[in-house]
Structure 1
Amino acid sequence: MIKQIFSLLRIKDWIKNLFVFLPAFFSGLILEPNVFKASLIAFLLFSLSASLIYIINDYVDRAQDKLHPLKKDRPIASGKITPKGALIIAGVLALVITILGLYSFSLLLLLPLLLYIILNLGYSFGLKHIPILDVSIIAIGFILRVVFGGLATEIFVSKWAFLLTFFLALVLALGKRRGELISISSTSRKVLDGYNKEFLNTALIICVTITLVCYVMYTISDDVIVAFGSDYIYFTTLFVIIALLRYLQLTFVYNKTESPTKVVYSDHFMQVMIALWLISFALIIYFK
């Protein structure tokens, strides 16, 4: 039963909420105890909130998921957890989120988290069926993670960070939609009626290009150079370019981006690029 509950919560997908740590990491303050503690609590709150949304989404889609060759094994669709049981777990999660949130932060600081929950409830109950809006909501969710991480630690977040987060999230969401589109098992999704391969290919190239341009502008902007005290930030662009090319290869050549989370966990090439990017930034920020 415990295993099924963990599956229902989608613990593996909590990796997406690491975006909450970005403000602390890039400010050079993540090793400060108070900053790390605030970031960790923010991460936990966002992760629990995401799990709450996953449960509600699986509850709403349980009939459709039963017909899906992969989703039919999810706890609610497979009957391993009853719909009523899932709602009880969701209620407990909501209570824990409320208590932990109000204990740790002011109501004002919790607004990004509340907005994320409201936005994704709308997504679960219908907005996910509207093409373009569906992927935009996913991307906005990542921005809210960064905003919450910044507010929780009282760290200013650059406009470039918001743009990068939004367009990178769009790249991942569009790649996911493309993977679903070419999968015979996913053609029953209503939202896919508003997409075709040509549109998604073009949108992906546009968003990847904008992401790269924004990243380059970020690394050479005077504010960032002064903040980091280094002229060598642009060297990290190398790993970003290679990682984006790898993602495009996985998308266009191997058709393996239906689950971006699975890509991060299983693709060693991508893991190495992400690790090198983080290490290079850490060296610049923390070992001047």
Structure 2
Amino acid sequence: MEKIPGIVGTVANASVNTRELPIVVDLDDTLIVTDTLFEQIAMGLFTHPISVLRAFFSLPKGRAAMKEHLAREIDLTHTTLPIREDLVQWLHQQADRGREIHLCSAAAQPVVEMVAGRLGIFASAIGSAEANLKGRAKATYLKQRFPEGFTYAGDSAADLAVWKAASGIVLAGVSPSVGAAARNLDKPIEAEFKNKQLSTKDLLKALRVHHWSKNVLVFLPLIFGHAWDDVSLIIRTLLAFICLLMVTSATYLLNDLADLNADRLHWSKRNRALASGRMAIPIGFALAGALLFVAFAAAIALAPAFAGALASYLVVTGSYSLGLKRVPLLDTLIIGVLFTIRIIMGVVLFSQPSPAWLLTFSVFFFFSLAVTKRHTEIIRAEVTGETHSLTIRGYRVEDAPLTLTLGIASAIASLVVLVLFIIEEMLPASVYSHPQLLAGMPFILSIWLGRIWLLAHRGNMNDDPVSFALRDRTSLALGGIVFILFLAAL
């Protein structure tokens, strides 16, 4: 095969005749690395769930009827879809050589026309109307439409029927079995374009393994309750921690599914597994569902109260994904509440009084960090001029002074709560042999918060301060000093 410079695909030694034929391109998982039907279902589930339900009720009339209903109810006009860039580049090259390019898909006609309009290289755009234009139905249509022959670009087993009727083949993201079957047809393969495979690293990022460290907050009540000698409680807390890991990973997946369009417009989130199309939408839903089922089954067996706290975490997270994340400032408060619920999960595992100071400190402290995240995004948008993803969340570039003020004020409030607790409860407590050393903790914490806000305001920090702290040597050193002060005070 002859390699095309600059693109991933390869071109076979196709005959001159096939090189002069029109090219017909499939849409779902071929021209784009996602499926528009699943895109509509995902969008609908998080924005218009009743519309999705009504669409499924139309399924007895045929898949085409369901697709038409979804296209009418759920508009993808302003949705960014992940294009197969190397295929599009090759199509442009073929168009420059005088070949006609046509788009033909089983997707609903309005969806096909919308995508074709964006690229501007297609002589026609044909989608499903009265019948589902897939497999044999598509092959019959294209044979009638192009009696002199055509080259077809597809991806799935259903496209084998079309390739049998075609004069030339273009493979786009096919599985090994489909690729082998297509080659056995003894037709010229003009080009092949590989999918970017979902790597283990991609999967771990989608599950937000790098954010699992946030869930260690469930151990704080055990630590500050000085119950580290209670083996039974340690085991229960560890099991609760595992349940929480599964639920948080599931909620991150669901949040990514709910926020596909915004993520694709974001400077870094566009590379996430779901946003980029490396993880299929159905796989995302299935994985999230499996994690939730296992987590709640284990949580109920562990402690009903813990299962209730876990359910409240899921409800708050779901409300955030369904729309509250687009309410300025409320979105950051919810993030602070979610961190606090993690601590509450640790509290309900043993029968000590709820540490009100710890929960109050947590809300102020994590609200400040959440605002730091938004402030960083605002500063970056001001510098780069990319404000669309910011606007989707309800923020504006001119909100920077407000987020700066609220974030710093909340940080100071958390320090005040910590100082009052040390004075009122920790210093008089008999469990510490050197309680005066605890006074250094809010001092060190104030240095860290000040540094975080300084870096955020200068635009020198990524958009997640917790993840930043776990990789930042200075932050780790300050955290180590706080830990040493706590141990020395015992």
* TM more than 0.5: yes
The correspondence for 1:271, drawn from 470, 476, 481, is 476
3-state DSSP of counterpart to 1:110: helix
3-state DSSP of counterpart to 1:228: coil
3-state DSSP of counterpart to 2:306: coil
The correspondence for 1:225, drawn from 428, 431, 442, is 428
Is residue 250–residue 257 contact of structure 1 (8 Å, CA) maintained in 2? no
Change (3 A) 1:227 1:75: farther
3-state DSSP of counterpart to 1:5: helix
The correspondence for 2:258, drawn from 60, 77, 94, is 60
Is residue 24–residue 155 contact of structure 1 (8 Å, CA) maintained in 2? no
Match of 2:60 in 1: none
Letter of the 1:7 partner, please give it.
Answer: K
Larger Rg: 2
Match of 2:440 in 1: 235
Is residue 299–residue 306 contact of structure 2 (8 Å, CA) maintained in 1? no
Deviation string, structure 1 residues 7-42 (Cα, Å, up to 9, x no partner)? 211101011111111011112222432222122112
Is residue 206–residue 253 contact of structure 2 (8 Å, CA) maintained in 1? yes
Letter of the 1:68 partner, please give it.
Answer: H
* Structure 2: gaps of 5 or more residues: 1-198
Q: Give yes or no for the alignment of 1:216 onto 2:414.
A: no
Letter of the 2:271 partner, please give it.
Answer: D
3-state DSSP of counterpart to 1:196: helix
Match of 2:464 in 1: 259
The correspondence for 1:131, drawn from 324, 328, 345, is 328
Q: Counterparts of 1:155 and 1:123 in 2: how far apart (Å)?
A: 31
Match of 1:169 in 2: 366
Match of 1:92 in 2: 290
Letter of the 1:199 partner, please give it.
Answer: L
Change (3 A) 1:265 1:223: closer
Change (3 A) 1:149 1:248: same
Letter of the 1:67 partner, please give it.
Answer: L
Is residue 59–residue 83 contact of structure 1 (8 Å, CA) maintained in 2? yes
Q: Counterparts of 1:203 and 1:270 in 2: how far apart (Å)?
A: 22
3-state DSSP of counterpart to 1:69: coil
Cα offset for 1:165? 0.5
Higher relative contact order (CA 8 A, sep 6+): 1
* Structure 1: gaps of 5 or more residues: none
Q: Give yes or no for the alignment of 1:160 onto 2:357.
A: yes
Q: Counterparts of 2:431 and 2:223 in 1: how far apart (Å)?
A: 12
Q: Give yes or no for the alignment of 1:191 onto 2:389.
A: no
Q: Which moved more, 1:66-75 or 1:250-259?
A: 250-259
The percentage of counterpart residues that share the same residue type is 25
TM-score w.r.t. the length of structure 1 is 0.92
The correspondence for 2:313, drawn from 82, 92, 116, is 116
Letter of the 1:253 partner, please give it.
Answer: R
Q: Counterparts of 1:127 and 1:224 in 2: how far apart (Å)?
A: 40
Deviation string, structure 1 residues 146-186 (Cα, Å, up to 9, x no partner)? 11111123343321111110111011000000011122346
Cα offset for 1:227? 5.8
Q: Which moved more, 1:157-166 or 1:23-32?
A: 23-32
Is residue 177–residue 192 contact of structure 1 (8 Å, CA) maintained in 2? no
Letter of the 1:81 partner, please give it.
Answer: M
Cα offset for 1:138? 0.6
Is residue 340–residue 359 contact of structure 2 (8 Å, CA) maintained in 1? yes
Letter of the 1:276 partner, please give it.
Answer: I
* Number of equivalenced pairs: 284
Q: Counterparts of 2:455 and 2:341 in 1: how far apart (Å)?
A: 27
Q: Counterparts of 1:102 and 1:112 in 2: how far apart (Å)?
A: 11
Is residue 369–residue 465 contact of structure 2 (8 Å, CA) maintained in 1? yes
Q: Counterparts of 2:217 and 2:465 in 1: how far apart (Å)?
A: 15
Q: Give yes or no for the alignment of 1:20 onto 2:218.
A: yes
Change (3 A) 1:209 1:21: same
Map 1:26-105 → 2, pairs under 5 A: 26-105=224-303
Q: Counterparts of 2:326 and 2:289 in 1: how far apart (Å)?
A: 26
Q: Counterparts of 1:64 and 1:275 in 2: how far apart (Å)?
A: 37
Change (3 A) 1:186 1:283: farther
Is residue 68–residue 186 contact of structure 1 (8 Å, CA) maintained in 2? no
The correspondence for 1:203, drawn from 391, 406, 421, is 406
Deviation string, structure 1 residues 181-228 (Cα, Å, up to 9, x no partner)? 122346423224267111011102211111111111011014663263
Letter of the 2:389 partner, please give it.
Answer: S
Is residue 143–residue 165 contact of structure 1 (8 Å, CA) maintained in 2? yes
3-state DSSP of counterpart to 1:153: coil
Is residue 39–residue 153 contact of structure 1 (8 Å, CA) maintained in 2? no
TM-score w.r.t. the length of structure 2 is 0.55
3-state DSSP of counterpart to 2:428: helix
Letter of the 1:193 partner, please give it.
Answer: Y
Is residue 335–residue 367 contact of structure 2 (8 Å, CA) maintained in 1? yes
Letter of the 1:251 partner, please give it.
Answer: A
